[in-house]
Structure 1
Amino acid sequence: MPTDDLWSIGQLAERAGATVKTVRFYSDRGLLPEAARSAGGHRRYGPEALDRLRLIRSLRALDLPVPEVGRVLARDDALGDALEGAIAGRLREVGSRLTALRWREAALRLVADCTARERPERLRLVGALAAPPSTAPLARFWRGWLPARMSARVVATVVERAVPPVPDDPTPAQVLAFARLQAFVSTPCTGGARFQPEAHRGGRGYRPEVLYEGMVEAYALAAADVREGLAPHRGEALDCFVAAHAGALGARDTPGFRHGLDRRLAAEQRLDGYWDLVAELTAPASGRRPEPTPGAADDWLRAALARSADRA
């Protein structure tokens, strides 16, 4: 290309509405190749450099880092898959930041809108939370609380259902519920082994994997009735619940077994506090029925079992 058709770095900057410093910055990083050099060694750019510079500035306006811009420009389809992938990555980052800001805002409102007596506890609780918070402590609690003699597959299934999702746009009440939930799972259990259900203790002939696999299915069956607000009753969900306990013990589902199971479950330690907080955390907008937690399904099934045992 004749040198008369080329622009100096200042001319390119003027046409692009940029500063000479900006043009030099992108040139030094290989994002804006020069077409030639003058006799004095000065950079010269062709008209295509103007389009390139405008594209670079558009990508930077989307907050893409300079290395990411370089990777996009290095591809032949700079406006195709490479750009799409880069934008998707930035959207994820921006979404994470927005979620963190919403949690911070809700935490501030939680502390601002309370009495002087409540404030110290709330400050302590929210001070222990990341923004957005992680569910890792909850997952660790369940992995430690579940029996050791279970496959990773079953443990993962139980943990997935027991650990609630973190809302992206929480209310102050949800921030408080999650903070208390995290405190609940982080507090050492003073009951020791006595706190564990009998099925978790070794040497008693239990098959905990059979129990928990069956419980997952029973909770799923009961959830529909809980969601509809139906009273506890006999049916497939209760039969599945009892069968899980019977199978874990190698016993048969008989009226006598149901009587004994009802008494044993009534005497077991429970995680009611955990499930109450999960229900607060996952409460939907007003006017909608809450999605049943496994704890709510367990309550419903135990009540159905008690009625079944009484009638038998």
Structure 2
Amino acid sequence: MDDPRYSIGELSRRTGLTVKAIRFYSDRGIVVPSGRTASGHRRYDVDALARLELVRTLRELGLDLATIRKVVENEAALPDVAAAHMRALEAQIQVLRLRHAVLKAVTRRESTPEEITLMHELANLTEDERRRLIGEFLDATFRDLEHPGFAGIARSMTPELPESPAAEQVEAWVELAELTRDPDFRALMRRLAERQDNDLRRHHPIADIRDAVAPALGSGIHPSSPEAARIVAALTARHRPDDLLAWLDLVDDSRRERYLELLAVINGWAAPDSLAPAAHWLSQALRASDQRCAP
């Protein structure tokens, strides 16, 4: 029968720990020799082997030495220690996701040092700070516009980064937050809101545009064709051409759609339908109609 007592070298081979590490744990009383040879070399039993394997596992999981001592000496319940360490790891994972998102954005956009600093700050905002940033943006967009529909619109434009976001959600948040801080984008969204406020008091053109233009796009009708002219005539019977063109120029701005795309990623929604093709087609059709009507 094999002698159940192991030398440090044998423990090293069985556990994968270095001889130096085993001596370290032994000197600190985490694993205790079961005896010594006549020449004074330490020997360990199967309990020491099992304890060392547990120590190795806990160290690989990132637990500190003091906590490991409490676990192996039954001063702390392993499930409680695991739960606390899991929470700490979750926090670390969140930080790593934020850093990964920033680095990915830096790589993709060839950012300047100033932009990198800004992205890092945006990624590390607390939930309250994120809400405050978005609240200020939406307030600047809808301030003093009293139509009751704007409260629901503002809610639908609010990003809600989940507690444990995926890397793409963090990256989307950083880009969206940058957009909300951009004065030009804020001015664009304010003009859109003011235009929509006027339209809501009468009849908003978006439903008419989708109903009229979507079939034309699907059928491949050219914006300068007679069929397009008939669609334009039907729309301009309900909406002034100048108003339509002004609204379309705002809607056709790619930053507006980008905000909605990023919002969908952050909130876990389906990708929004793009209004850009219909807006672009109708803008061309309106201008072609103006040219035909010009003397």
Question: What is the TM-score normalised by the length of structure 2?
Answer: 0.45
- Structure with greater Cα Rg: 2
